[in-house]
A and B are shown apart, each in its own frame.
Chain A
Amino acid sequence: MSIDLKTVKHISKLARISIDDEKANKLKGDLNNIFEFIEKLNELNTDNVQALTSIAETTLRFRKDEIKSENIREKILKNSPEENKDFFVVPKVVE
């Protein structure tokens, strides 16, 4: 199976990474090489194997539902790319 240019562009759209045609062509080559290498897994029959979803064999812990956080509003906004005292600023979304 090989990945064509259209698929590369579709994935880049899903991944929200814009790429030009030159980069897309380069990526097509790289991805095909990598997937050729990955296809090796098809040699194995895994019909009766259970998928390993977590390597740490623990169940998630419950904690008490209580407020622990101090007021960290300023801290959260500190690295905001656009200066604004109270909000994160993005391009206009609603017309």
Chain B
Amino acid sequence: MSDITSQSLFELTSNIKEKKLSSEEITKAFINRAEKSKKLNVYVTDNFEKAIDQSKKFDSNPNLDSKLPGIPIAVKDLFCTNGVRTTAGSKILNNFVPTYESTVTHNLWSNGAILLGKLNCDEFAMGSSNETSFFGNVQNPVGENLVPGGSSGGSSAAVAANLTPVTIGTDTGGSIRQPASFTGTVGLKPTYGSCSRYGIVAFASSLDQAGPMTKNVRDCSMLLEVISSFDQKDSTSIDYKRNNYSKELSKDIKGKKIGIPKEYRVDNMPDEIEKLWKNGISYAKDCGAEIIDISLPHTNYALPTYYIVAPAEASSNLARYDGVKYGFRSPGQNLIEMYEKTRSEGFGDEVKRRIMIGTYVLSSGYYDAYYLKAQKVRQLIKKDFDDAFSKVDAILTPSTPSSAFKIGEKTNDPVSMYLNDIFTVPINLAGLPGISIPAGKDKNNYPLGLQVIGKPFDEQNILNISYALEDKINFKNDISDWWLSE
């Protein structure tokens, strides 16, 4: 049997069901590796002691019919976990211990999983490199001083470094798919309304979705099956029949129509990414899919639209952090001064920048010019996809315009940082499902990903296409464990 921590979720689950491994053995193996992996800085808060207790409890009376039997899982620190500190990577929530559980994490535990700990992320999920976290940057296991992507950077690094079998992240403009692409892992953003937003620290409510981040496509289907559910506590949760994604997973994509949007061929895109995309197209053909050229004419307007809509919603959502009822408080002579000092000292620079953008575009006299304009363009972007999906079953694009970059390389230029999300943002604006799978490497041997975009609620189809492509691509991450200490 291969080393415990390098096993997939599917393998671990089978080994537990066949009683070849106990939950305690697995949990201790991941904790042991985490103790030696502090250099990566993936954990904000660990739950190791409780996790061991819970694994012993599971082993004493194992429910082997559950979908995640005794499987230890670390999650992004944006999910509220009852009794376990939840920071959203921010000083302003540094001491916040929720007294309730998010619905998606509740789904994990009720299916037998055990919380390993909370993973680092960009502050309030605002960032593409995990460098805006109050708890410091995360190292990408792929190479030293390389960002793991963001905002779910602790999550992507933890999966790639075998510190958790799988994890869940959140994706507002690419925060699952871009870090997955940077670390050679799989990340899926579900259709808006598939996974409950209840108990997730809100960033931009019309865009946020939770989703699985895993080593491979099969694990991704297993985890999606658990976290996707209708929830009364989220008014935008949609009541529809969800598939048994792992059961219906199939490599048979014969006759599927896959669209290739010409607008995703952007200026200065490295040749390697063009080549990666071409390879993906030819693999899809080999699998019997039909390739169709399509156009998504408003693609170039997606990022500017996003940088109005997301900050506007964020400025509204983050108004609640005022130092009154929970979180960090900086004392003031009066109430207003307390608010202003609390928010000034409690938020980091990128979060303040986005609150300022959002406040400006919603302020009197500018609402029509910016916010309303952006909502109209968002309609056009959505219509592009509606038109495309009348001709094709799915769309294939690169996940990101580059591979992982060095820590510090883009921190002084917000716009160049924002450009990272050029291929992922349109999907959030249109509320569609998208998955990034590792598809190759650049000249530095850093991973690159391909993105498969689907129709609303058609996660099964993009999983199947990814499953077929994954088999042809046969990607190997070969990470050297350079960060391990004794």
A51, B192: Cβ atoms closer than 8 Å? no
Give chain B residues whose Cβ lies under 8 Å from the Cβ of A58: 193, 236, 238
Q: Is B360 an interface residue (CB 8 A)?
A: yes
Q: Is B71 an interface residue (CB 8 A)?
A: no
Minimum C-beta distance from B205 to chain A (A):
10
Q: Is B336 an interface residue (CB 8 A)?
A: yes
Q: Is B393 an interface residue (CB 8 A)?
A: no
Range of interface residues on chain A? 35 or more
In A32-63, the 8 Å CB interface with B consists of 33-34, 37-44, 46, 49-56, 58, 60-61, 63
Give chain A residues whose Cβ lies under 8 Å from the Cβ of B359: 11, 14-15
Q: Is A18 an interface residue (CB 8 A)?
A: yes
Kindly state the separation between the CA atoms of A31 and B323 in the bound complex, as whole angstroms. Answer: 26
Q: Is B363 an interface residue (CB 8 A)?
A: yes
Kindly state the separation between the CA atoms of A18 and B333 in the bound complex, as whole angstroms. Answer: 14
Contacts A40-B300, A50-B379, A90-B338; A80 near B325 (Cβ below 8 A): yes
Contact of A33 among B356, B374, B415, B429 (CB under 8 A): B415
Contacts A44-B301, A51-B376; A56 near B238 (Cβ below 8 A): yes
Kindly state the separation between the CA atoms of A81 and B326 in the bound complex, as whole angstroms. Answer: 6
Q: Is A8 an interface residue (CB 8 A)?
A: yes
In A47-95, the 8 Å CB interface with B consists of 49-56, 58, 60-61, 63, 72, 75-76, 78-82, 88, 90-93
B382, A17: Cβ atoms closer than 8 Å? no
- Which chain A residue has the least Cβ–Cβ distance from B298? A44
Kindly state the separation between the CA atoms of A31 and B366 in the bound complex, as whole angstroms. Answer: 15
Contact of A30 among B96, B329, B379, B414 (CB under 8 A): B414
Contacts A58-B193, A91-B335, A91-B338; A11 near B236 (Cβ below 8 A): no
Q: Is B430 an interface residue (CB 8 A)?
A: yes
In terms of DSSP, what is the predominant structure of the interface of chain B? Answer: helix
A19, B344: Cβ atoms closer than 8 Å? yes
Contact of B379 among A14, A41, A51 (CB under 8 A): A51
Q: Is B97 an interface residue (CB 8 A)?
A: yes
Q: Interface stretch among B144-152, B302-310, B478-486?
A: B302-310
Q: Is B17 an interface residue (CB 8 A)?
A: no
In terms of DSSP, what is the predominant structure of the interface of chain A? Answer: loop
Give chain B residues whose Cβ lies under 8 Å from the Cβ of A76: 99, 325
Q: Interface size on B (CB < 8 Å)?
A: 69
Q: Is A2 an interface residue (CB 8 A)?
A: no
- Which chain A residue has the least Cβ–Cβ distance from B419? A37
- Which chain A residue has the least Cβ–Cβ distance from B308? A38
Kindly state the separation between the CA atoms of A49 and B379 in the bound complex, as whole angstroms. Answer: 7
Q: Is A27 an interface residue (CB 8 A)?
A: yes
Give chain B residues whose Cβ lies under 8 Å from the Cβ of A72: 99
Minimum C-beta distance from B302 to chain A (A):
10
B323, A60: Cβ atoms closer than 8 Å? no
Contact of A15 among B331, B356, B431 (CB under 8 A): B356
Give chain B residues whose Cβ lies under 8 Å from the Cβ of A81: 323-329
Q: Is A16 an interface residue (CB 8 A)?
A: yes
Kindly state the separation between the CA atoms of A10 and B347 in the bound complex, as whole angstroms. Answer: 18
Minimum C-beta distance from B235 to chain A (A):
6
- Most chain-A CB neighbours within 10 Å: which of B304, B329, B377, B379? B304
**Interface positions of B (Cβ within 8 A of A):** 95-97, 99-100, 192-193, 206, 232, 235-236, 238, 298, 300-301, 303-305, 307-308, 315, 319, 322-329, 331-341, 343-344, 347, 352-353, 355-357, 359-360, 363, 370, 372-380, 382, 414-415, 418, 429-431
Sampled A-B contacts (15; CB under 8 Å): A12-B356, A14-B363, A15-B352, A17-B352, A30-B353, A30-B414, A40-B301, A41-B304, A41-B377, A43-B301, A50-B379, A56-B193, A56-B238, A63-B232, A79-B325
Beyond the given A38-B304, A58-B238, could you list 8 further A-B residue pairs with CB under 8 A, ordered by the A residue number? A33-B415, A37-B418, A44-B301, A54-B236, A76-B99, A79-B96, A81-B323, A93-B335
10 closest pairs, A vs B, by CB? Answer: A79-B326, A55-B431, A51-B375, A81-B329, A75-B99, A46-B376, A18-B340, A52-B379, A49-B376, A15-B359
